[in-house]
Amino acid sequence: MLQNPAQPAVSLKRKRHRKLSDDTPWAIAMLLPNIVGFLMFMVVPIFATLYFSFTEYDLILAPKFVGLENYIELFHDKIIGITLRNTFVFTLITVPIGMAFSLLLAVFLDQKLAMRRFYRAAYFLPSVTSMVAVAIVWQWLYNPEFGLINYFLSLVGIKGPNWLSSSSTSLLSLAIVSIWKGAGYNMMLFLAGLQGISTSYYEASELDGANKWKQFIHITLPMLSPTTFFIFVMSIISSFQVFDTVMLMTSGGPGRSSSVLVHYLYQSAFQFFSMGYACAIAYLLFFIVLTITVLNMRFEKHIKEIF
């Protein structure tokens, strides 16, 4: 680009413009590997799933456009009802209990204690362990005759149930494993939230004669609410996506007693080969997750307006 000394203002403007756009070739070159993968394996599939959800496709014959048929079937399919109900129940058990448990651990751990690192590591250990390993160990713990859990129950005079192989306890058993596995992770998030609360609040309330419990109710809980809310939303979303636990420990059984939405999605796609229908289930899941996220954003805004 030629520079004309007679028009300094324009040339300066041009120069800045050139400097800005100079980066483009480099940006393209350096972004290329990332963006190719991103488009191919993330962006395009999102729309492809939507497209396939309007088709009938069994992997053999070409996809056939069927309009809204899959979505209409979703409403009439009894199994969808059952799996949705199981997913809700699973969420209802795991989210509140899991959060209460991890909050409790975090509150106790948020002090200058000996062995802090040990505790933290112990609680976090299940989170880094593979679900397959966890499933194997817990299946053995749940063994009705020789398992450790029923042995402990027998010590206090309770005859333990058949856990995984009874349709009345299978979902509960999976929820317990899920709580155990996720507690450390949420505890860590709570711990970060707790450390963000300034100690001056506690010091001031101590002068006013507040005890630990009052401090917890009137300082810790309100100050922690953004963290709590975040964990709440993330826990709901992830419990709606539960699959590994179910597939590995009960395969949704006995009957359909522990089958959840993603398990049915997996079966529809890779066992019954109804790809189109599975895609419709995937969009149902997407819709639910999106709704939770949007409600969360609305609610958060609402809360901010109140305070």
Partner 1 sequence: MTRRTKRIITHSIAHLFLIIGAVTMLLPFIWMITTSLKTISEVFVMPPKFFGARLVWENYLKISSRFNYFGYFMNSIKVSVWVVFFQLWTSAMAGFVFARLHFRFRDKLFLLYLATMMVPMQVIIIPNFLQMRIYGLVNTLWSLMIPPMVSAFGTFLLRQFFLTVPRDLDEAAKIDGCTPFGTFFKILLPMAGSTLATLGIFCFMYIWNDYFTPLIYISNAKRYTLPLGLAAMKGMYSTDWPVLMAATCISVLPVLIAFFLAQDAFVKGVMLSGMKE
What distance in Å separates the CA atoms of residue 142 and residue 180, rounded to the nearest whole number? Answer: 14
Q: For residue 22, what are the contacts with CB-CB under 8 A and spacing of at least 6?
A: none
Q: Which stretch binds partner 1 (CB under 8 A): 3-11, 77-85, 90-98, 184-192?
A: 184-192
Rule CB under 8 A: say whether 117 interacts with partner 1: yes
Rule CB under 8 A: say whether 213 interacts with partner 1: no
CA nearest to 173, candidates 162, 183, 184: 162
Of the pair 138, 256, the CB lying nearest partner 1 is at 138
- Indicate the SS3 state at residue 55: strand
Rule CB under 8 A: say whether 34 interacts with partner 1: yes
Q: How far is the CB of 6 from partner 1 (least distance, A)?
A: 28
Q: How far is the CB of 11 from partner 1 (least distance, A)?
A: 19
- Indicate the SS3 state at residue 64: strand
Q: How far is the CB of 165 from partner 1 (least distance, A)?
A: 12
Of the pair 1, 29, the CB lying nearest partner 1 is at 29
Of the pair 7, 22, the CB lying nearest partner 1 is at 22
Rule CB under 8 A: say whether 303 interacts with partner 1: no
Give, as ranges, the residues between 259 and 298 that touch partner 1 (CB under 8 A): 262, 265-266, 269-270, 275, 278-279, 282-283, 285-286, 289-290, 293
CA nearest to 265, candidates 290, 292, 239, 247: 247
CA nearest to 106, candidates 44, 197, 16, 32: 197
Q: Which stretch binds partner 1 (CB under 8 A): 2-10, 81-89, 90-98, 120-128?
A: 120-128
Rule CB under 8 A: say whether 243 interacts with partner 1: yes
Rule CB under 8 A: say whether 194 interacts with partner 1: no
Strand partners, 64: 56
- DSSP code per residue over 4-47: -TT-HHHHHHHHHHHHHHHHHHHHHHHHHHHHHHHIIIIIHHHH
